[in-house]
Amino acid sequence: MTRTLQKKICLLGDFAVGKTSLVQRFVHHRFDEKYLSTVGVNISRKEILLDEQTQLHLLIWDLAGGEEFVGPQANYIKGASGALLVCDLTRAITLSALKLYAADFHAASPAASFVILANKSDLTAQRVLTENQLTELADELSAPLMMTSAKNDDNVERAFAMLADTIA
Taking CB under 6 A as the binding criterion, the range among 9-17, 45-53, 96-104, 134-142 that sits at the site for ligand G3D is 9-17
Contact 19, 62 (CB under 8 A): yes
Shortest Å distance, C-beta 20 to Mg ion: 3
Residue 119 touches ligand G3D, criterion: CB under 6 A? yes
What is the dihedral sign for C-alpha 30, 35, 36, 38?
positive
Q: How far is the CB of 100 from ligand G3D (least distance, A)?
A: 15
Binding-site member from 38, 44, 55, 133 for ligand G3D (CB under 6 A) = 38
Complex with Mg ion: residue 56 or 117, whichever CB lies closer: 117
Residues 56-115 that bind ligand G3D (CB under 6 A): 65
Check if the beta carbon of residue 47 is closer than 8 Å to that of residue 57. Answer: yes
**Residues 26-65 interacting with Mg ion (rule: CB under 5 A):** 38
Q: Which is nearer to Mg ion, 2 or 35 (CB)?
A: 35
Q: Are strands 3-12 and 82-88 parallel, antiparallel or unpaired?
A: parallel
Query: Residues 76, 41: contact at Cβ < 8 Å?
Result: yes
Q: Which stretch binds ligand G3D (CB under 6 A): 67-75, 134-142, 145-153, 157-165?
A: 145-153
Is residue 20 near Mg ion by the rule CB under 5 A? yes
- Residue 10's beta-bridge partner residues? 61, 83
User: 162: closest CA among 121, 122, 131, 117?
Assistant: 117
Nearest to 127 by CA among 96, 163, 91, 77: 91
Q: Give residues in contact with ligand G3D (CB under 6 A).
A: 13, 15-21, 33, 35, 38, 65, 119-120, 122-123, 149-151
